[in-house]
Amino acid sequence: MSPTGDNRQKIFLVKSVHTAVFFLFSASVGYILYSAIRGTHSWFLPLAIGAVLLEGLVLVANGWECPLTNMAKKWGDETGRVTDMFFPGWFVPHVFRTCTTLFLLGIAFLAVNYAVGRF
C-alpha cells in the first residue's frame, strides 16, 4: 500500500523528527566523550547522560524498536524505517552498536576520571 499525499507529509515529518532526535542524542554521546577525554564537565553532562539513558529505556520498553517506526508504518511506510530517508544505507545498521559503544566508553572514562579525582 502506497501512502497518500497527506500521509507522505506525515511520514516526512516523522522522519524529520527522528533525525532531529538522532542528532540530539549523537550530540549527547559526543559531549559525554568530550567531557571524559578533557576531564571537565558542566551542567549539561548529567542531562546528556540522562537523555541517552532515557532513549535506551524507551527502546527497551518498545521491544528495541523506535516508537516512530510504528507511526511511519501506520501512515503507510512499508518498512517503517525512519532512517532510510536521511542517512546512507551503509550507516543505518551500525547506529545502535556505534552509539552504544561510544556511550559506554564515555561512561567508563568518566568513571576513571572520577576515581582518580579529575572531577
Structural domain of 104: 5-86+98-115
Q: Which three cell numbers stand for residue 110?
A: 568518566
Splitting the chain (119 residues) into consecutive groups of 10 residues, what average pLDDT does each group show? 76 86 92 93 94 94 87 80 69 84 96 86
Give the per-residue pLDDT at 2.
63
Q: Is residue 41 part of a domain?
A: yes
Q: Is residue 17 part of a domain?
A: yes
Q: What angle do CA 78, 97, 103 make, to 5 degrees?
A: 125
Give the per-residue pLDDT at 8.
85
C-alpha distances out from residue 66 to 4, 6, 45, 63, 113, Å = 23, 22, 24, 8, 33
Helix (H) and strand (E) counts in the chain:
4, 0
Place of cell 545502535: 96
Give the per-residue pLDDT at 37.
92
Give the per-residue pLDDT at 76.
82
The pTM of this model reads: 0.82
Q: Is residue 91 part of a domain?
A: no
Q: Is residue 16 part of a domain?
A: yes
Task: Look at the chain and report how many structural domains it folds into.
Answer: 1
